[in-house]
Structure 1
Amino acid sequence: MSQLSNYHLMARYNRWMNAKIYDAAATLTPAQLQQQRGAFFGSIIATLNHLLVADILWLQRFANQYDNGKLAAVAALTPPSQLDQILYPELSPLSAQRQWLDQQLYDWVTTLTELQLAGVLTYRNSKGVLHRKPFAAVLQHFFNHQTHHRGQLSTLLFQAGIDVGVTDLLALIDDEGV
């Protein structure tokens, strides 16, 4: 599998898993979503917001060098001011924004080239520190970060009595001539 194919798969996985997580979260009451559960970001709604915040920040950084005409709407968003910012305290508008962002991400990833993946991403982190890192490795971090926090969310949901079902990337990988 090429690097590009891998990132296409990861973008599909991101969209699929976010839909599963949000469908599961929709079965809870607003109070259950806000309940402090001892997780790094506290509640389910805060963790969902963190994922959206982080994805917006990274996609805006990517847009500065690797837009390909697909991230203009994301780049135009007001950048979140902190990693624990609650952009949407209610699930419905948060879910709508998540679906929109996942589509922007998918559409953008499908425009990337091997030459771009071989490039260097120059960006400033949330503390203003300048970094220059291999773009492909940062993109891998981006997808890994999502998986990490969705793992936390699936545990929080399970503790709330909700099973999100299969979460393995393997579910999206086709069999080869079995």
Structure 2
Amino acid sequence: MITADWVRLMARHTAWQNGWMGEAIVGLPIEEAQANRGLFFGSILGTANHILWGDRAWLARLDAGDPPDVAPADHTRLTPTPTAWAVARQRTDAAIQEWADGLTGPLDGHVLWTSALTGAENRTPRAVAVTHLFLHGVHHRGQIHAALTQMGVKTADTDLPYLPEAQW
């Protein structure tokens, strides 16, 4: 289904996208970052925290890190400020890239996990779980991108073909 090379590409893309998003969010006044903008998780910072919390949860499910240290009910408040989010985001992106760089061979088997938000037990093909790790962030970063655009904040390109240093 997917290869280790694809996972490494997605890890690089994720870090690149989170980099511009971090710059944009850190540049906002805290009130603007925390304002309810009608996003799935309310504010820009709340949505960014949701992505970060989810990435940490999936890394733990993939045996590549510790689970988030904040209860599911508080996941949108994982970090209190845009700057704290950016620091935590960089660390998590480094962990994702390190994990991706260590992958070899096919992503066979299943991931057995319990949803922290619903309590449901799940069995997901490993390749699907890894794909979800990346697509979940893309989905919510798109919401943040739209909110920033509506605020008049200039953001970087989000298209995969423009990934810096990509060798196509």
| Larger of the two Rg values belongs to structure | 1
Quick one: distance in 1 between partners of 2:6 and 2:121? Answer: 28
1:13 aligns with 2:3: no
Structure 1: distance between partners of 2:144 and 2:76: 17
- Paired residue for 2:72? 81
CA contact (8 A) 2:49 2:85 kept: yes
Structure 1: gaps of 5 or more residues: 64-70
Asked whether the 8 Å contact 1:14–1:143 carries over to 2, the reply is yes
The amino acid of 1:108's aligned partner reads: W
Distance 1:83 1:138, change over 3 A: farther
Structure 2 runs not aligned, ≥5 long: none
Cross-structure match for 2:108: 118
TM-score (norm: length of structure 1): 0.85
* TM-score, normalising length: structure 2: 0.90
Larger CA deviation: 100-109 vs 24-33: 24-33
Give, in angstroms, the shift of residue 57 of structure 1: 1.0
Whether the 8 Å contact between 1:45 and 1:91 is mirrored in structure 2 is: yes
Determine helix, strand or coil for the equivalent of 2:77: coil
Q: Which residue of 2 aligns with 1:33?
A: 33
Percent identity between matched residues is: 32
**Aligned-residue offset at 1:78:** 2.4
Q: Give yes or no for contact 1:154–1:164 (8 Å, CA) kept in 2.
A: yes
Check conservation: 1:33, 1:45, Cα contact below 8 A: yes
Check the 8 A contact 2:56/2:67 in 1, yes or no.
no
Distance 1:79 1:88, change over 3 A: closer
**In 2, Cα distance between equivalents of 1:80 and 1:56:** 12
- Amino acid across the alignment from 1:50: H
Distance 1:17 1:59, change over 3 A: same
Q: Does 1:109 align with 2:100?
A: yes
How big is each residue's C-alpha offset from its partner over 1:126-170, in whole Å with a ceiling of 9 and x where there is no partner? 222221111011100110001001111111111111121210011
Number of residue equivalences:
164
**What CA distance in whole angstroms lies between the structure 1 residues aligned with 2:53 and 2:73?**
8
SS of the residue corresponding to residue 113 of structure 1 reads coil
For residues 133 and 92 of structure 1, the distance between their equivalents in structure 2, rounded to whole angstroms, comes to 34
Report the alpha carbon displacement of residue 89 of structure 1 after superposing the two structures with TM: 1.8
